Structures are given as C-alpha cells and as structure tokens.
Amino acid sequence: MTPPTPLHLSLAGQAVDVLREQVLTGEIPPGSRVNEVEVAQQLGISRGPLREAIRHLASEGLLTLVPHRGAFVPDATPEDVKALFELRTALECAAAEHAASRRTDVDLVRLQDVCAESRRNYRAGQPFPYRLDLAFHQTLLDAARSPYIAEQVRLVQQRVVLLRSSLEDDPPHQHASMDDHDELVRAIADGDAAKAGAVMRRHLSRVCAQMLTSLTH
Amino acid sequence: MTPPTPLHLSLAGQAVDVLREQVLTGEIPPGSRVNEVEVAQQLGISRGPLREAIRHLASEGLLTLVPHRGAFVPDATPEDVKALFELRTALECAAAEHAASRRTDVDLVRLQDVCAESRRNYRAGQPFPYRLDLAFHQTLLDAARSPYIAEQVRLVQQRVVLLRSSLEDDPPHQHASMDDHDELVRAIADGDAAKAGAVMRRHLSRVCAQMLTSLTH
DNA sequence: AACGTGTCAACTGTCGACAGTTGGCAGATT
DNA sequence: AATCTGCCAACTGTCGACAGTTGACACGTT
C-alpha cells in the first residue's frame, strides 16, 4: 500500500517545509547566512530545488535576499516590529469585524472552546501556550470567511513568530491576552462588528508593546 | 564608461519584469498556460532563471502553479473579486487612517495635485486615466508611512489590474471616484482618521461593485 | 457503441558543471 | 607603519541534459 502519489511533495516543497521549521525555531539564527551548497548537501538535494525554496521563503518574509551575497535570516528592529504590527492590526481587525458579522454557531462554539482550554491550562499552573494563542486567531480567521485576508494573516503571524522566537512570555501578559480573547468572543457572539474590531485593535496594540519591551529589555 | 554594475539585474529579475508586463497587459491571456521551454527560448534565457521568475510571480498572485502541469494566468470569479477587495479594503482603510494622522503638508499638497490633475483631464473631455487613480492611491500610501501595508497594497493593486485588464471604465464611475478622492483628501487634511477610513471603505465598495457588474455585464 | 487499457509525446522536476562576481588577504609601495 | 594594489578562494548566477510524471490518443474488449 504505497501512497497514491509517488512523491507527496516536490523536493523544493519539502525543502521549504524543512527550512521554514529551521528558521522559525531559530535553528538557523537571525542574522546568519544560508549557504546554498552546504544546505543542499545537508538536505541531500541539488541547488536548484533549494534555490526555489529559498526564494519562496524570501517571498514570505522569512529570508531576505542580497544579490551575489545570498539569503539572510532577518533580525528585527523596533521599527520593523511596529510596521509589521500595523499590517497585522489592519488585517486582523477587519477579520474580527467580518467574523462578528458572518460567524455561525459552530464558529462561536469553537472560539469558546479555545478560550476555555486556555483558561484550564492557565489555572492548572501551566503557562498559556503560544499554540493556543495561534489556535484562537486561526479559529477567528476561519469564522471571518475571507480567504485572502486569512492567507495574509498567516504570513504575518509567521513573521511575528520569527521575531518572537527568542522571547519568553510573562504571566501578566498571558492573563491580559486571555481576557482580550474572551472579550473578543463576546463581541463576536453579539455580532457587534465595531466592538470586535476595537477589541482586536487594543489586543494587538498590547501584544506589540510587550514585544517591543521584550526586544529592548 | 560601462555601467558600474555589469549586470543591472539578474536574468531572473529581468524575466520577472518582462513576464509581469505580459501578464498585466493581457499579452498572456487569463486561463492560458506558461510553457517553460517556449518562453525561455523566447526570452533567450535558460529554464532556471525563468522558473525562478515564474515562482516569484506566483508568490505575487499573478500566476497560479499546478504541480506537474505548469503555471497558469488566473481568471477571476466574482467570489475572488469580493474576497480580494475585502483584503484591499482592510489594507487601504488602515492606510487612509494612518495618512490622516501622519501626513505632512507636503503629502497634502501632493494629494491635492493629483486630484487637481484628474479634474483637469476630465474637464478637457479626456477620460480619467487609470494611471492617475493609481497615482492617487500611491501618494496616499506614501503619506501613511507604513511600509509593510504599502507593500501589500502594491501587490493587491497588481492583482486588481490583472482582473481589470479587459474592462472599460464608464464616465459616471470615473466621476464618482474623483469625488471620493476629493472627499478623502479633505478628511486627511483635517486629520480625521475615522472619516478617512470610512470614505475609503465606501470608495472601494463602489469600485468593487463596478468591477463585479463589468465582470458579469 | 461504450468502456477500459496500454502506449506515447510533451512537459515539469531535478541534477551536475561552468561562468561571473564579491569580499578578503597577501604583498608591494610610500 | 599605514595604505593601496593585485590576486584568490568561496559563493552565487546560469546553463544544458537527464529522469519522472501527466494527459491524451489509439487500440482492443465487452
């Protein structure tokens, strides 16, 4: 019973996944260069597919290309963080408004479930895992039913993860985030688009501020 | 006196420019496939750089890739247009709000100049050129000073141009657009971010509706 | 006549090798 | 000793050729 498709994904596609993981986890540290021949040998593929993978990640903002020099993992400046969060805010506020208008009851249950699980984890003494934060925003995006906005948010969140890779969270911030999420769900439950957008704006503003302080500490 | 850089742009970069032009002008019609060997010969380059160019344009949304089948110029469905304009609205409303808050007097003068030129052209009996519409939105984006938002808007506008390539404008719509632009400039002049965002939202809603009617005519 | 099967050409995916450019190092000069 | 010049190794950019897959056509079967 071999898989129906002999190659589930092209070598370039596989290389994208592997490289993305290595960049996001910080295995390839920010500021470092990606050597084409070295990484190609390491992955056991030729330079062609690897180059395509590098270009793809560059288009996602996870690498920056310098002609005749190669690809670098970008390191964030405070200005970058601010500008990136302006983009994220524009996208996710719109998503929150659309979610408030278009959500189904199933969407609402899913959102409430994610919030409840976050609370449970937190009360059990465990930290609010970033995984659940991502899950919340993803669920909200599904409820918004705006595929292009969702796609762009996904890309922006990836870049945020990249900036965030070496930061630790502090409990007060986690608590505030969970409160924001709860309030957001209430606004969406009420179908109050304006409030949903406003709460999302305040939430992201807080997250951005926290990242900026962590960045400079 | 040869140029300082022997190659101003890599072959892949040049191929991107040529292909983008051909796609946006409809020289390569929507729905058609891009044959790698054929286009490579046509451009006088190898398949490697051309492949990179194709992948780049795909990341911009100007081509869609199908594994083992090739690259196609996407043809728009009404759902695509709506979803794309939801993205554009989220981005440009935020840009309009930022522009209202951050604009300098120089920015304001530039915006007013573009509007004035549009009026002049229109009164002279000439149609409102799409060039000036793009110039207006670009000037507003510069005034917003949010580089990531600006970059995304640029990509979205490109896709709108692609959808728009075979559509003609009608004078009533042109007139309404110029009125919207004027009202937008007034809001930005007043520093009224909320109004600027609202006007932009209404403007894009109108443009989207016009595109949808033109699409189905 | 409709359907399933085998073959084939065209195209994409991949590879290894060559050419051009960049940044740095060694040596010569002042 | 400091600076400038010329060379060099490493790397990216590019090319031509091979391998694997896809969709379609022709053929045979029911």
Supply the range of the domain harboring residue B24.
11-72
One domain, residues B173 and B99: yes
Q: Is residue A4 part of a domain?
A: no
Q: Is residue A23 part of a domain?
A: yes
Q: What is the pLDDT of residues B140-173, one digit of tens each?
A: 999 999 999 999 999 999 999 998 765 666 778 8
One domain, residues B95 and B53: no
What CATH number does the domain containing A40 carry? 1.10.10.10
Q: What is the pLDDT of residues B119-137, one digit of tens each?
A: 888 777 777 778 899 999 9
One domain, residues A89 and A175: yes
Give the distance, in angstroms, between residue B4 CA and nucleotide D2 C1'. Answer: 29
One domain, residues A113 and A62: no
One domain, residues A86 and A23: no
One domain, residues A94 and A64: no
Residue that finishes a domain, picked among A72, A97, A123? A72
Region A100-119: mean pLDDT is 96
One domain, residues B128 and B194: yes
Cβ atoms of B194 and B97 closer than 8 Å: yes
C strand bases under 7 Å from protein CB: 11-17, 20-23
What CATH number does the domain containing B110 carry? 1.20.120.530
Q: What is the pLDDT of residues A43-89, one digit of tens each?
A: 999 999 999 999 999 999 999 999 999 999 999 899 999 999 999 99
CA dist., res. A158 & res. A74, Å (int)? 13
One domain, residues A20 and A92: no
B125 touches strand C (CB under 7 A): no
CA dist., res. B151 & res. A68, Å (int)? 24
| Nearest chain B residue (CA) to A83 | B146
Q: Is residue A94 part of a domain?
A: yes
Q: Is residue A88 part of a domain?
A: yes
B55 touches strand C (CB under 7 A): no
What is the tally of structural domains in chain B? 2
One domain, residues B112 and B192: yes
Q: Is residue B17 part of a domain?
A: yes
Chain A residues with CB under 8 Å of B56 CB are 55, 59
Instruction: Count other Cβ atoms within 10 Å, centred on residue B214.
Output: 17
One domain, residues B56 and B158: no
Per-residue model confidence as pLDDT tens for chain B (217 residues): 333 344 468 999 999 999 999 999 999 999 999 999 999 999 999 999 999 999 999 999 999 999 999 999 999 899 999 999 999 999 999 999 999 999 999 999 999 999 999 988 877 777 777 889 999 999 999 999 999 999 999 999 999 999 876 566 677 888 899 999 999 999 999 999 999 999 999 999 999 999 999 887 7
A103 backbone dihedrals φ, ψ, rounded to 5°: -55, 145
